[in-house]
Amino acid sequence: ALVMNGTLVFTETPSAITIAFLGFSVDIDGRQESFNGTFSCSASLSNCFISTDFIASDGNIYRVADVSVSNSGAGYNIGAMFYHHELGQVSISTNAAITYSNSCGVYPADGEIMINGSNGSYLTATFNPDCSFTIMGSDGSSSFGPTTRSW
């Protein structure tokens, strides 16, 4: 059986759309997961923001915070923080706006994403105009890359 419980608040203004989940839980065959969160976007959907706490059936809390996606007209910028009760936090951001071109279709043609973890670990993905991407990073003690791959 599937049982959902909690409060869902939907707000729409001329400039934004917001959905808030308050004390929301989902119970599937006796296993319960719950969360509180907010999802909001500008009315044009060019800027969106998400922040959520997930409470797992084991009682651990997982957080997704400050997730943002924006289109500046010159490309897309993203940002996010993820928190794990044992592993720590991971942040994602754009070092250069992500852009697309007709020649690359659904794949990025320019821009760079940076993922930072704990203990100095990181990964950088750079999107190239020839529809390839280059990755490099470190696990905190040794580096790898750069390696270029095609989609």
pLDDT band of 57, cuts 50, 70, 90? confident
Q: Residue 1: is its pLDDT beyond 80?
A: no
Q: What is the mean pLDDT of residues 56-81?
A: 86
The pLDDT assigned to 108 comes to: 95
One-letter amino acid at 109 equals: A
Going from the C-alpha of 24 to that of each of 6, 31, 39, 69, 92, the distances in angstroms are 4, 14, 14, 24, 26
Token representation of residue 14: 């001329």
The residue ranking higher by pLDDT, 66 or 129, is 129
Sign of the C-alpha dihedral, residues 30, 33, 34, 37? negative
pLDDT tens track for 89-130: 999 999 999 999 999 999 999 999 999 998 889 999 999 999
Cα 45 to chain center, whole Å?
Answer: 16
d(CA 49, CA 40): 5
The pLDDT assigned to 84 comes to: 83
pLDDT tens track for 74-88: 899 999 999 888 778
